[in-house]
């Protein structure tokens, strides 16, 4: 194991902080509610968050942008723009617990996308894990047993779009530095959201601007502490901790927003998270078994 992966306790700590930051993001967005249109709220979050790109400007300017890079950056900007807009919209339509639980579907879609578009192999164990995850999604949604609204469908599409964004990022990490990947995402999404926000623009109050800047702070802090967690411990240690986000979100929704605790959402979220944890564990096992002369097969 790399020397940077020698402190699992620290890794768990930073992942707990990461979960707190991301739950804080959902709480603030839920609090603002539909006072601002979803596209405008998302645009303000990214626009105000551009201040955090200042340290990345040098790396972006030094990058040689090939036509291939522009296409990938453009594609990621489009899918992430749509995903962010749908996520903000879903937050105004369904509970925090449902949004958090359904967000766990993104890694499952990433696994499917990697097999379809990146040539990675899907072994039987991984296919079963994906099936369990979709069973978890059906338990959350319970179609035919309760009324679904457009917020539920927005979250289903959100997870697919975010998966496309992350797969694009995986391709780009072989071409440019992480700073450029993160920086260009913020720039392209801000540009992509601008016309959507303009179409539904409502003049925000100073308080609403402040709340959206707070969202940007929590989101940026969450990505940073997540990086610290990955440096401190392997994914097999840090990934299962992300399930606690569902616990925090459920308690927050109950205590602050008077949302009921739905045992089916908790159960479905647990199944999805267990599938994600299993896939992460299998990937870590394969990496340990691989040698330089015989690359591990992705399963």
User: Domain map of the chain by residue range?
Assistant: 37-222+264-289
Instruction: Label each residue of the chain as H, E or C.
Output: CCHHHCCHHHHHHHHHHHHHHHHHHHHHHHHHHHHCCHHHHHHHHHHHHHHHHHHHHHHHHCCCCCHHHHHHHHHHHHHHHHHHHHHHHHHCCCCHHHHHHHHCHHHHHHHHHHHHHCCCCCCHHHHHHHHHHHHHHHHHHCECCECCCHHHHHHHHHHHHHHHHHHHHHHHCCCCCHHHHHHHHHHHHHHHHHHHHHHCCCCCCHHHHHHHHHHHHHHHHHHHHHHHHHHHCCHHHHHHHHHHHHHHHHHHHHHHCCCCCCHHHHHHHHHHHHHHHHHHHHHHHHHHHCECCECCCCC
**pTM, two decimal places:** 0.82
Q: What is the pLDDT, as a whole number, of residue 75?
A: 95
Whether 30 and 257 have beta carbons less than 8 Å apart is answered as yes
pLDDT of 299 reads: 34
Distances (CA, A) of 202 to 39, 114, 151: 11, 40, 21
Band of residue 83 on the pLDDT scale cut at 50, 70, 90: very high
How high does pLDDT run on average in the chain? 84
Segment 122-168, tens digit of pLDDT: 778 878 888 888 898 899 888 777 788 899 999 999 999 998 988 88
Q: What is the pLDDT of residue 207?
A: 94
């Amino acid at each position: 194991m790399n020397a940077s992966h020698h402190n699992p306790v620290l890794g768990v700590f930073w992942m707990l902080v990461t979960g707190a930051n991301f739950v804080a993001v959902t709480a603030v967005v839920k609090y603002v509610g539909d006072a601002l249109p979803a596209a405008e709220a998302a645009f303000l979050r990214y626009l105000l968050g551009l201040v955090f790109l200042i340290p990345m400007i040098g790396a972006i300017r030094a990058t040689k942008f090939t036509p291939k890079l522009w296409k990938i950056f453009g594609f990621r900007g489009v899918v992430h723009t749509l995903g962010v807009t749908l996520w903000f919209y879903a937050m105004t339509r369904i509970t925090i617990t449902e949004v958090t639980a359904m967000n766990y579907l993104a890694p499952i879609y990433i696994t499917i996308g990697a097999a379809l578009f990146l040539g990675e192999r899907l072994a039987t164990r991984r296919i079963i894990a994906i099936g369990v995850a979709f069973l978890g999604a059906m338990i959350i949604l319970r179609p035919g047993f309760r009324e679904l609204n457009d917020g539920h469908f927005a979250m289903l599409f959100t997870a697919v779009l975010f998966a496309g964004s992350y797969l694009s990022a995986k391709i780009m990490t072989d071409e440019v530095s992480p700073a450029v990947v993160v920086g260009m995402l913020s720039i392209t999404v801000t540009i992509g959201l601008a016309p959507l926000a303009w179409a539904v623009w409502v003049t925000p109050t100073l308080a609403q601007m402040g709340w959206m800047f707070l969202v940007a702070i929590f989101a940026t802090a969450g990505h940073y502490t997540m990086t610290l967690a990955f440096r401190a411990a392997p994914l097999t240690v840090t990934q299962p901790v992300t399930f606690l986000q569902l616990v925090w979100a459920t308690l927050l929704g109950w205590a602050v927003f008077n949302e009921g605790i739905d045992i089916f959402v908790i159960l479905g979220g647990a199944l999805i998270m267990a599938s994600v944890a299993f896939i992460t564990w299998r990937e870590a096992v394969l990496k340990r078994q691989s040698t330089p002369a015989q690359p591990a097969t992705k399963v």
